[in-house]
Structure 1
Amino acid sequence: MLLCRVSPVCRTLARWGRRSQRGGGLLLGRAVSCSSNRCYGVSPGEGSAEPAETGSALSRYRDTVLLPRTEFPMKLTGQKLLDRELQIQQDCGFAELYSWQRERKAKKEFCLHDGPPYANGDPHVGHALNKILKDIRNRFEMLRGRQVHYVPGWDCHGLPIELKALGELGTSGLSALQIRQKAREFAEGAIARQKAAFQRWGVMADWDQCYYTFDGAYEAAQLNVFQEMHSKGLVYQDYKPVFWSPSSRYCFSVRPRSLKMPSWSTTPSTDPGGRGGNVFVLVWTTQPWTIPANQAVCYMPNAQYSVVKRADTSQLLLLATECTASLAALLGTELQTVATFTGSQLEGGICKHPTIPDKQVPLLPANHVTMGKGTGLVHTAPAHGMDDYSVASQFKLPVECIVDEDGRFTELAGPELQNLPVITEGTDKVIASLKDGGALVLEEQCVHSYPYDWRTKQPVVIRASKQWFINTASLKDKAKEALQKVRVLPESARGSLLAMLDRRTYWCISRQRSWGVPIPVFYHKETGEPLINKYTVSHIAKLFKEKGSDCWWELPIEALLPPEVLKKAGPVSEYVRGDDVLDIWFDSGASWAAVLEESDSRADAYVEGKDQLGGWFQSSLLTSVAVRNKAPYKSLVVHGFAVSEKGEKMSKSLGNVVDPDEVINGKEDSSSSAYGADVLRWWVAESNIFSEVQIGPSALNSARDSINKLRNTLRFLLGNLDGFDPRVQAVDPKQMYYIDQYMLHLVREYSMKVTDAYSEFDAGRVIRILQAFVNRDLSSFYFSIIKDRLYCSPEDSLGRRSCQTALEEILDGVTRSVAPILPHLAEEVYLHAPGHDKTLFKSGWIKSSSVWRRPGLEEAVEGACAIRDSFLSSIPGKNASQYDLTVAIEPGLLFELMESLQEEPTSTSSQLTELMMAARVTLTSTLPRDLHPDALLSHGTFLINLEGGVIREDSPYSIAVTPTSAARCPRCRRYTSESADCLCPRCQAVVSHAG
């Protein structure tokens, strides 16, 4: 019986079905029709159908072929994709999932403490990278049975929010409470926009129970940390140099930028070391405006110094010996060495100040002096340099600040300099004074790193002021010890964390703004002495918890102080409340105390970008070590930044900013496609998060294509599970076909690899393992083998049910494994999969069983696969089903393993024949002598390794491949029929049973 030849279009339709008559979904049918001729449904075999004399074959057989059938769509695009994701979130209870898992019983908890994003703008791809990365791990931990503790939070205080909230209004005429109200409103608006985006990305949390650093309860917990540190003497007030921004009137941490500044040298007269003669001490600085505040000149005690004579002027100069050659080149003259000695011999030397008549300054030893640039002698102004201040502390030098809060010289700098801005006119005036006094040897232009206020884009100065500090020097050793118990991913980030910790000699925690948590201190009006102790701070913390920190400005002082303190302090009228607020890094650094459930608990992980090595990671560590003598985290995960596809930092001026909202929904004013949330999540998971993470059309299109390929695999699985109920129709693993059991074995190995990768925060490895399993083990191997059994075996046969049992486990394993990354797709698949009565995320992790690993199973199938590879390589590009295969193996382990796949000597339907995809397989101990003259011969070996290497056998085999003499069955298209017009025995039985 002949059938009409199937056109390519019809063959595609036959493969993937027809439109359902019941609605818009795609329903895979069991036969299709061509517009001109009636065509036969897809065959598991290769090649096209043969011409048909009549349509009777179709009418007889089409309903007996069990083609895949499912309403799961092959692809979702545009608005349908967006609607489907939102529907999944609604139907599968994304909003309630976090609360559900918090209420269930669990043996272990996984705590990922959320670093608070700053509440001063719209959500961006940096947020997406961070929040989705955290959510992938949280969903994985929840699926495998742990109770996840994850409370999203926001950092709500600080100057950027205050400046944006006030805009052009400034602070003129506004009270502190008015400024705070506007800042709060601005922060709340930013939080609402960011929160909505995080929810749309599928981030699992209780979004009604977040933490905010402006909440009264949070502020109270923060003050309790402050009080603990103050009681231990770690918090103190001092007059020290800090970075000060005249443009913001604010002390803060800075970002270095390049700035051209004049460098110069002074020559105060002296007689160093009592050598006699008029010798000039040569120093070099890039901050000329600090010269009027000079209190000393520092040298390196162990370095070599020389007195040299200028060939052009006979002037005697003192400088470091190793700097002589470079200085001679700069001055354009020869420098002749007069004397050389060690720096320690300069002890007791006195210099004349270059701009202040009759003032003398000492020569002092200091370890911060370097020889890389300059002269090996360093100008020291204690009020305007961090190292300078350390020298002043050691040698009891005066610390006189000559710059006011507006960045202008004070009267201490002298009448000629007073009120001049130090960076511009003040610098020019100081240089002019040096020239007039004959103290300027050389002036040159250079480029060097200089601190800028990144908010106002104006340079900052270092000036001494009275501030509150944390003594980090006394905490460093404890912090380093605590870090030894912390796992850092990647490990290379640990060095950066330690280096930044080393560079922090102290931490200034006071800020001169209104929008923040007030430092709970009162000052005596006459003496300026601070009033602060555990009773005052504890009392104020209780008030903050009840009323919020606005009460610092709203309540009278007598209400802010506890009764026992009021009795001892004296009249309240003698005190004023402080105006400073706490540094926002102290705000966020105390989050462990406000958010983690137990006072002695540690989070399993902190996950943030690399900029937090010197920020939240460090401030959290210092506060926790100070209060609890341990780190607040067990592990740190440090990821890179999101950059453009060219590796550039994103900026509006370059036009390379990627908006995550536009990624998901598409641009309103263009034809760009909507990718949906899962594509954004796949991009995060697939990226190497420990480096800079690139995003753009190429990366997003690649992510979408990968998801669509995965959808097709899942759709194939769903289609072949139509009508299968694993609860009643699943086959016991011991009764399953070997190849099906082998796939369960591979699923088990796959699940273990995926579990390990998720545990290492390596979602990229999860994707690579997933794609290898889907492409190699499923599509290229298993699916190609089982189609005949799926489509053409009896519906309720052991072979078909065995295959469906394996497919259901594969579908379940793959779906669960990808669920943390693609929760929308996973839930969509789960809704179509058989035998489920609740959502995927409430049903647990991959359910693999040790029963799936049977002794000898792996060796039997992989031995057969080795023979299969030899067979297929002998007929490159040809249809394996058109050949008979003879396999010759000497008696031994390999022969016994192959016998487990084919008990009879020759077969067209054995498990070995199915695996080979041949027409017929003959299993024998030796090749027959009467082989067909066209037989293709090949040989190979397979190493059997059983019981962990106890049993090892290198087994040879030979194969002979000959064209089959059988005809192709018109139903299954395998070459197993006696003639072309009759069905093979298997198909005859199926058709007869179907009537």
Structure 2
Amino acid sequence: MCADTPDYKDTLNLPVTEFPMRAGLPKREPEWLARWEEIGVYDRLREKEGRKPFILHDGPPYANGHLHIGHGLNKILKDMVVRSQQMMGRDSRYVPGWDCHGLPIEWKIEEQYRQKGKNKDDVPVVELRRECRAFAEGWVDIQREEFKRLGVTGNWADPYLTMDFHAEATIAAEFQKFLMNGSLYQGSKPVMWSPVEKTALAEAEVEYHDHQSHTIWVKFPIAAFGGSPELIEHLQSQGAESQPEVMGAMMKMAEDFGHSHVVIWTTTPWTIPQNRAVCFNPDISYGLYQVTEAPEGNWAQVGEKFILADDLAEEVRKAAKIDAWERSFDVLPAQMSALQFAHPFRGLEGANGEWDFNVPLLPGEHVTAEAGTGFVHTAPSHGDDDYQIGRKYGLEMTYNVLEDGSFRPDLPFFGGEVIIKPNGKEGGANKAVIDKLVEAGMLAARGRITHSYPHSWRSKAPLIYRNTPQWFAAIDKDLGDGQDTLGTTIRARALTAIDKVKWTPQSGRNRLYAMMESRPDWVLSRQRAWGVPLTCFVKKGALPDDPEFLLRDEAVNARIIAAFEEEGADAWYAEGAKARFLGDDYDAEAYEQVFDVLDVWFDSGSTHAFVLRDRADGAADGVADLYLEGTDQHRGWFHSSLLQSCGTKGIAPYRGVLTHGFTLDEKGNKMSKSLGNTIVPEEVVKQYGADILRLWVAQTDYTADQRIGPEILKGVADSYRRLRNTMRFMLGSLGGFDAAQAVDPAEMPELERWVLHRLAELDVQVREGYSAYNFQGVFQAVFNFATVELSSFYFDVRKDALYCDGDSTRRRAALTVLDILFHRLTTWLAPVLVFTMEEVWLERFPGEGSSVHLVDFPETPAAWRDEALAAKWAGVRRVRRVVTAALEVQRRDKVIGASLEAAPVVHVEDGEVLKALKSVAFEDLCITSDISLSGDPAPSEAFRMPEVEGVGVVFEKAQGQKCQRCWKILPDVGTHKHAGVCGRCDEALG
């Protein structure tokens, strides 16, 4: 600049804003949280009248620890749903809740007792329950603040707790519906049992981990060969027509099977004392194998005969260290039906006759030839398949295993032996059984195997199947309650309801349907103290199948519920409770009060009743628009809620179900404290701010497992900075904007009308995306628009007009569009970046009660859509790409320092595109001082891009002098009133 040329910097309309580029989110976010609470944002939204409700029902987290990253993902997703639905015009309510009963809390209190040398059984139940309640209350308060810190909106002042008195009363009332409709029954069947926690567990409380188990091959010696109808029919078909012929054939067969054994394979040696049958599959090929060579002293001895599945025989031979054997003949299903075997412990000295019975060979479809021997050891008290076979064939149920996982004291040989110790380690039961099998000569082989095995998801200890008296809800019983729209049984209703629900993703439907199709009756009872009791009475001396076994009386039920409303479920344990509830109509001494507590999944499965149905901010029809949880809840909350609701009101409690995957580390590994790869929400918030964690959620495909870690978070933070820069530019440019000067879209330049067209397209995409809970799609669309189409194109092009124009239509149109953009980008992104968009909003509208979260997405006129204009500008931008790429080569080679030093010649073969380019200020779009457009073929030296055919660019330098105000190089600079400026700037200076 010459010494006598004025400095025109102060005459430019440069951006002015106090909006910092550095966000400082960890420090500033709590300020906005406090502000929202002060102005009552959530309550003010509820005051908006005439809106259709949208209810996302919160699946209750468990109140017993700090939040992990899965909690963060889940609650942020829910918040994005709630906020986006609200901003699309719904009354989007959110009542957070907590699951407060159950074993994990009771276990913590027991640990405290043990540390103090106290015995839990010596503590009054009500005192234990009081301590459990206080423990849960403490964690509810902690987790509430941790959730709020993530920017999650909701009715935090009045959440729902499963331990609230009304909740406990409602849970009991919902249980009583099962009592009254006849689906409740007491049965003795094997259930998943935790010897450590001394209670039954539901499938949803079970997780599977690798576990090393014993494997044993056990010999069951033949004891009898009888004439079964199947065998006689078979022999007759083989030509034995007369009775003597049949008897002769049977004697020959008995001789053939003499000294033979069936061999079973099991990974649970401790169940052998409970064996009552062996199962085979009639569709499997079996043979009789006789040992001809074996090492001296081998458990499988020369001369012994084994019946085995042919496909598995070689594996058995190797395991049993048999050198050689001969296969004698096929063993047919008809022959199997005639065989009976002795229990391996039969006749042992000291057995006291415990196992002096024959073990039948029974057909079972569950037997496969994939592993083992082709025969399945069957203990009806310790497995579901075993139990079903036992029911079908009338096998004896055993009660050898006590609640602590030990054998009953008087069981010969094994009394008091423990299967699983209190610390979760293996006890001596397996070894004791194996040793006794060796002593009896009934072990063919042994080994070890690592396989997936059920564990308690709380104590992490292995589980066993154990036969105990439990309370069940029969899911295939005809309820006869008149609520038959979806079916007459719980299972039928649930299966029908599943297909009336919208599943996101759709695969969730298939998973839950398959589980519901094959699940057994629902085990409702737990042998614990902290929970809602099974509020029922049984008649002393009556058997479970006796019609008078369960007391069914609405007046008794009503007294219980009234007491629970006033005193909570502790009323069940108060002195004199039985007489109080039975009243004068019944002799209290004639009835027993049930003290088992309900499965906590029944608690949470009943939340639709005391939250959706009973609360003023619930759902008028008691049905939620959406349940949203992790994929593990197909076997958990989604499952139990569907069972419970179908059992009590005949329909599903939800219209939509959304599931998300699990969160892994950056390498795709499961997070573990021992591996040191956990990411805790609190740490992310402290380092980056909650908005960065929320942005990570928005950028993630939550329907699959997600990854998070330091490098991923750095990438998220970079995206955030780019977006923040876009918002900062708009704020700076809009500082002096007066809405009265807004330009009508019809009078705007084409470039502005193209932006409006894009906004109209995006408006549809954003609303459809939010409606489909496709947050990743919404954010990617808005982010790419903001950082590519706006920051890298529109803003870049219009900076010249915004900074240098006077009061031109072009500048006012650009400001009008920026204002339109501001209102849409801040609201569209507000459900994701709750803090940042509030900061952006308040920078422009700092009023006392102002908040972006109090406004809706602006309505976008459909008239802004202009497909012809969009097609034209798509062609213009394609040519622009070639020009900017050509100039970048010149900049890289240091021929020019800035694009304004150029005045390229652009050759365009397509006549329509050339016409379009000439109708716009193409030099402004390319940010050059001048540009020449030609329809002539491009010379050989022209710059080309293979993907943009028919376009060539020849570089030329701009001619003239540099304008000291706008920096364009133009021939007219220096010929106007104001020194050193171009005509446009001279006019702007006045």
TM-score of the two chains, using structure 2 as the length reference: 0.85
Question: In the alignment, is residue 919 of structure 1 matched against residue 929 of structure 2?
Answer: yes
Task: Tell me, yes or no, if the aligned pair for 1:467 and 1:510 is still in contact at 8 Å.
Answer: yes
Preserved CA contact (<8 Å) 2:405 2:418: yes
> Is 461-470 or 524-533 further displaced after alignment?
524-533
- Give per-residue Cα distances to partners, 1:754-803, cap 9 Å, x unaligned: 33332332322233223321232112211221111111111x32111111
Q: CA deviation at 1:382?
A: 1.1
Contact between 2:419 and 2:428, CA under 8 Å: does it hold in 1? yes
Match of 2:505 among 481, 486, 490: 490
Pick from 635, 649, 655: which aligns with 2:656?
635
Aligned residue runs from structure 1 range 623-662, under 5 A = 623-662=644-683
Tell me if 1:705 matches 2:740: no
Aligned to 1:809: 820
Change (3 A) 1:840 1:937: closer
Q: 1:869 to 1:420 in 2, by over 3 A?
A: closer
Residue 881 of structure 1 pairs with residue 881 of structure 2: no
* More deviation, 584-593/164-173: 164-173
Distance 1:91 1:729 in 2: 33
Opposite residue 440 of structure 1, the aligned amino acid is L
Deviation sequence 1:846-900 (CA, Å, 0-9, x none) = 4322222236322343333344344445544355434446778899865765565
Q: Describe the shift of the 1:320–1:962 C-alpha distance in structure 2 as closer, same or farther (beyond 3 A).
A: closer
- Residue 433 of structure 2 is matched in structure 1 by 430
Shift of 1:584: 0.6
Amino acid at match of 2:140: I
1:434–1:854 distance in 2 versus 1, CA, 3 Å: closer
**One-letter amino acid matched to 1:574:** A
Q: Distance in 1 between matches of 2:399 and 2:946?
A: 87
User: How many angstroms apart in 1 are the aligned matches of 2:908 and 2:459?
Assistant: 82
Matches within 5 A, 1:306-385: 306-312=287-293, 313-331=302-320, 332-357=322-347, 358-385=356-383
Correspondent of 1:139 among 83, 99, 107 = 83
Give ranges in structure 1 of 5+ residues lacking alignment. 4-51, 666-673, 902-910, 944-955
CA distance in 1 between counterparts of 2:135 and 2:345 reads 50
Question: Unaligned 5+ residue runs, structure 2?
Answer: 115-119, 226-230, 232-249, 294-301, 348-355, 421-426, 477-488, 613-617, 891-895
- In 1, the alpha carbon distance for the partners of 2:372 and 2:952 equals 81
Deviations along 1:893-923, one digit per CA (max 9) or x if unpaired, are 657655653xxxxxxxxx4442243434567
**Matched residue, 1:512:** 527
1:859 aligned to 847, 868, 871, which one?
871
- Match for 2:827: what amino acid? R
Q: Which stretch has the larger CA shift, 958-967 or 695-704?
A: 958-967
What displacement does 1:57 show? 0.8
- Alignment match, 2:764: 752
Q: Secondary structure at the match of 1:551?
A: helix
Q: Is the 8 A contact 2:882 2:951 kept in 1?
A: no
Distance 1:451 1:866, change over 3 A: closer
Q: Which moved more, 1:892-901 or 1:109-118?
A: 892-901
Q: 1:412 to 1:284 in 2, by over 3 A?
A: farther
Change in 2 beyond 3 A, CA 1:831/1:630: same
Separation in 2, partners of 1:855, 1:264: 76
Alpha-carbon separation, structure 2, partners of 1:462 and 1:140 = 47
1:546 to 566, 570, 573: 566
Asked if the contact 2:214–2:446 (Cα under 8 Å) also holds between the matched residues in 1, the reply is no
Deviations 1:367-396 (A, max 9, x none): 111222222122211112221111111112
Secondary structure of the 2:465 match is: strand
Is residue 256 from structure 1 mapped to residue 208 from structure 2 by the alignment? yes
How far off its partner does 1:317 sit?
2.0
The alpha-carbon distance between structure 1 residues 935 and 268, as it changes in their structure 2 partners (threshold 3 A), is: closer
1:74 to 7, 14, 21: 21
Q: In structure 2, do the counterparts of structure 1 residues 874 and 455 end up closer, same or farther at CA, with 3 Å as the change threshold?
A: closer
Match of 2:604 among 588, 591, 595: 588
Match of 1:276, SS?
Answer: helix
Q: What is the DSSP-based 3-state SS (H/G/I as helix, E as strand, rest coil) of the residue aligned with 1:442? A: strand
**What residue identity is the alignment partner of 2:207?**
R
CA separation of 1:53 and 1:600: change in aligned 2, threshold 3 A = closer
For residue 381 of structure 2, give the secondary structure of its aligned residue in structure 1. helix
Indicate how the Cα distance of structure 1 residues 117 and 382 shifts in structure 2: closer, same or farther if over 3 A, else same: same
Question: Match for 2:385: what amino acid?
Answer: D
* Cα 1:391–1:890 shift into 2, 3 Å: closer
In the aligned structure 2, how far is the partner of 1:799 from the partner of 1:337? Answer: 97
Distance in 1, Cα, partners of 2:846 & 2:271: 79
In the alignment, the residues of structure 2 paired with residue 164 and residue 939 of structure 1 have an alpha-carbon distance, to the nearest angstrom, of 69
Query: Helix, strand or coil for the counterpart of 1:283?
Result: strand
**Aligned-partner SS, 2:823:** helix
The amino acid that maps onto 1:969 is C
Change beyond 3 A, Cα 1:446–1:874: closer
Structure 2 match to 1:28: none
Preserved CA contact (<8 Å) 2:222 2:339: no
Distance 1:927 1:964, change over 3 A: farther
Q: 1:444 to 1:873 in 2, by over 3 A?
A: closer
Instruction: Flag the 1:87–1:431 CA change in 2: closer, same or farther, 3 A.
Output: closer
Q: Shift of residue 804 of structure 1?
A: 0.5
Deviation at 1:965, TM superposition (A): 3.0
Q: 1:203 to 1:534 in 2, by over 3 A?
A: farther
- Spell out, residue by residue over 1:211-242, the C-alpha distance to the aligned partner (whole angstroms, 9 max, x if none): 11111211222223322333333221111112
- Residue pair 1:485, 1:634 contacting (<8 A) in 2 also: yes
Asked if structure 2 preserves the Cα contact closer than 8 Å seen for 1:739 and 1:915, the reply is no
Letter in 1 for 2:802: L
* Cα pair 1:95 1:204 within 8 Å, conserved: no
- For 2:345 and 2:620, how far apart are their aligned partners in 1? 57
Structure 1 equivalent of residue 424 of structure 2: none
Q: For the residues of structure 1 that align with 2:593 and 2:201, how far apart are their CA atoms?
A: 22
By how many angstroms is 1:615 displaced? Answer: 1.0
Q: 64-73 or 933-942, which moves further after superposition?
A: 933-942
Instruction: For residue 160 of structure 1, report the CA deviation from its aligned partner.
Output: 0.8
Distance, in Å, in 1 between the alignment partners of 2:428 and 2:882 is 86
Residue in structure 2 matched with residue 27 of structure 1 by the alignment: none
Q: How far apart, in 1, do the equivalents of 2:537 and 2:156 lie?
A: 38
Q: In 2, distance between residues paired with 1:835 and 1:523?
A: 67
The answer to whether the Cα contact below 8 Å between 2:55 and 2:619 also exists between their aligned partners in 1 is no
> Take 1:776 and 1:57, find their aligned partners in 2: how far apart are those partners?
36
Matches within 5 A, 1:337-736: 337-357=327-347, 358-410=356-408, 413-414=411-412, 416-422=413-419, 424-472=427-475, 475-527=490-542, 530-533=549-552, 535=554, 536-554=556-574, 556-557=576-577, 560-561=580-581, 563=583, 566-567=584-585, 569=586, 571-596=587-612, 597-598=618-619, 600-665=621-686, 674-726=687-739, 728-736=740-748
- Pairing of 1:865-944 with structure 2 (within 5 A): 865-875=877-887, 876-877=889-890, 878=896, 879-884=898-903, 897=916, 900-901=919-920, 911-920=921-930
Whether the 8 Å contact between 1:298 and 1:380 is mirrored in structure 2 is yes
Distance 1:237 1:967, change over 3 A: same
Match in the other structure for 2:283: 302
Aligned residue type for 1:756: E
Does the CA contact (< 8 Å) of 1:884 and 1:921 recur in 2? yes
CA contact (8 A) 2:694 2:833 kept: yes
- Matching residue of 1:194: 143
Q: Distance in 2 between matches of 1:446 and 1:935?
A: 73
Quote the Cα distance in structure 2 between the aligned partners of 1:245 and 1:582. 16
Instruction: Return the offset for 1:527.
Output: 4.3
TM-score of the superposed pair, with normalisation by structure 1: 0.84
Query: How far apart, CA to CA, are the structure 2 residues paired with 1:867 and 1:613?
Result: 53
In structure 2, relative to structure 1, the CA distance for the partners of 1:896 and 1:446 (3 Å cut) is: closer
> Could you tell me whether the CA contact under 8 Å between 1:402 and 1:412 is conserved in 2?
no
| Counterpart mapping for 1:51-200 below 5 A | 52-54=2-4, 56-58=5-7, 61-77=8-24, 81-93=25-37, 96-170=40-114, 171-200=120-149
